[in-house]
Structure 1
Amino acid sequence: MQIGNVTLAGRMVLAPMAGVTDRAFRQICREHGAALTVTEMVSAKALTYGDKKTPGLLALAQDEHPAAAQIFGHEPETMAEGAKIARAVSGCDIIDINMGCPAPKIANNGDGSALMRDPTLAARVIEAVARAVDVPVTVKFRKGWDEKSVNCVAFACMAEQAGAAAIAVHGRTRAQQYSGTADWDAIRAVKQVVSIPVIANGDVAVPEDAVRILEHTGADAVMVGRGALGDPWIFERANALLETGVCPPLPPFAERIDTAVRQIELAAAQKGERVAMLEARRHVNWYLKGQSGLKAFKMRICALERLEQLYPLAEEIKRAAGC
C-alpha cells in the first residue's frame, strides 16, 4: 500500500491510543507484523508552547519506519507549526491529524471529533498541515458526530481535496464513543467515493475480523486498536490469514508472558522504572485475557512497583497456567 511517497509492506496498522501505544508497545507490535505504527496523539498547541513532556511521546523506536506522528488541535496555524515540530522531533514518515477522538476533554475544546461538525475549519487545518510538512498527511475521523449527523462520506471527500494522502475511518459516531457496533457499511461508502487509500477501523478483535472488514469495505488496510491490547500477534496472524488463508494459533502462553515482560523492560528503559511499572499494571493484565484460572494474579499485578517484582510473578503465573 502506498501513502503518498511512503510504502507500507503490509495491510495491518496499529491504531494510536492515548496512554497505550508508547514506544515499547509499538516496537513489540512492529516485531509481530504491524506495517505502520502511530504515536499517541499529542497536542499541537503543547508542541508550539515548548511543553517539555510532549516531545517524548513522539520518540520512535530504533528502525520504527514507516511511522506516523499524530497531532490534534483545531487552529490551522498552530496545527501547521505543531506538525513541523512533530516531524522534526520524531523523524516520522507521515503526519496524522486526529479528527476522531471522542473524549470530552478533547472534543469540548473543538479538537478531535468536534472537527466533524465544522468541515470548513477541518479543511483549513488539513490544508495548513499539508503545506507545512514535507511528508504525507493523513486524517483519522469517525462515521459522524451522532446518528443525526453522519457525514463521513462528505468529510472524506473534503479531506482528499484538502490534501490528505490517506484517511482512516472509525465506523462509530462520536456519540457512540467505543460502544455498540462499528458500521462497516459507512466505511465502504467512503471507499467508493475517494481515490486515496482508506484504512478501516472498528471491531477488529481477532485476525478473522481483519479479513472480513477488508472484504466488506474494500478498504486498503486495517487499523487495529483495542484488539491488539495484550495481543500483538494479531498482526502477524492476520497477515498470514490474508496471504495463505490459514490463521496460525497464538504462541504458547509462556511465550506471551515473556513478551509482556520484555515490553515492560523496554518501557522501563525508555521512560524509567517507576512510570513503566505503573503502566505495567494494565498491560500485563491485558496479556492474561482469555486465560482461565489466573484471576488471583490480577490484584498482585496491580501492586507491582519494581521490575524485580515482575520476574518471579511472571514465572509464578506461567506455572499456574501449567506452562
Structure 2
Amino acid sequence: MKSGPLALTLGDPAGVGPEIIVKAWSELRREGPPFMVIGDFQAVASASAGGASILRKVLAPAEAMTAFSDALPVLDLPLRAPVVAGRPSPAAAPAIIKWIETAVGLALSGAVCGVVTAPIAKAPLYEAGFKFPGHTEFLGELTASEAFDGARGPIMMLVAGDLRVALVTVHEPLAKVSGLLSVEAIVNAGLVTAQALRRDFAIARPRLAVAGLNPHAGEGGGIGREEIEIVAPAVRALKDLGVEVAGPYPADTLFPQEMRERYDAAICLYHDQALIPVKMLDFWGGVNVTLGLPIVRTSPDHGTAFDIAGRGLARPDSLIAAIRLAEQLARARGA
C-alpha cells in the first residue's frame, strides 16, 4: 500500500461535511487510517467544539501522517467568503471544485493513497456553472487522460454489509431510464464491476447478478420487453467475455439474504433499485465507491443535510465506513 494518507475533501462547507469530518477524526485519530482534509481551515474549525485548537495546517501529505494522532490535518484552500451552516451558496462552488481537483491530483501523483469525498449539493454548483451530474462523473473527467489497465468507469457502487450494488444509470428521471439502457452500458457496468471485485475487493472469481427493469423481470415480455431486448442479451455478452453472471432477476427477489449468498455484486439498472436495499440493510453505514478509475475514491452514502448542519446532530458512521473502506481498497491495489 502507498504510504501516504487519504485525502478527504470538505464537500459543501454549509452542509454536515465539516461536522462529520471532525467527529470521524475524533474516532479514528488513534487507530487510523490517517487522512488529510482538503478545504477551508476556518470552516472546519467552526464545526469543532475545540475550534482551531484541534486542527493543524499542513502543506504536504507527509506532514499529515505525522500530525494525525494529535491534530486534524487540514490543507487550507480558503473560501472567498465565510459560509453559514445550513445556507448553501453558489459563491462557494469554485472552492468546492478546487478541493476535489486538488485531492484527485494528489492521488494521481501517489502523494495520497485515495480520495474520500464529503457530500456536495448539486444545485449551488449548477448555479455556478458546474457541468457534471455529480462527483462520480466529475472524477471520471478529471482522471480520463490517465492510464488505466482494464475496463473504464466511472461506475457507481454502493456497499452495505455484505451487499454490493453497481448502477448502470445513476441520477436519471425514472421516465428516462428505459431509453438510456443499452446492451453496451450493462456490459460495461458488468466488466468494470467484475474487474473491481478482483482488483479492489480481492475476490478471485466474482459472481454477478443482474436485475431486471420491470416487475417480475418483464414476465416473459408481458410486462415490458427490456429484459428480452436489452438485459438478457447483455448477460449473454458478459458470459461470452468470461464473466460469471446470471439474470435478469426480478428486483423484488434479488436482495434477501439467501439470494445475496449467490453473488458478490448486483448490477442494478436505476438509482432507487440499488439504493433502497442498501439503505434498508444499513441506513447509517452505507458507502459509495467509484469503480473503474485509476484512483481509489469513496464517499458517505448521504447528502449535505443542510436542515441539521451546524446543530451537532449529524452522525459520522457512513463517513467512517467510507474512510475505512478506502484504506482497504488502497491496500488491495498496493498489494
* Pair in the same fold by TM > 0.5: no
- Specify which structure has the bigger relative contact order, considering alpha-carbon pairs within 8 angstroms and separated by 6 or more residues: 2
Q: Normalization by structure 2: what TM-score? A: 0.30
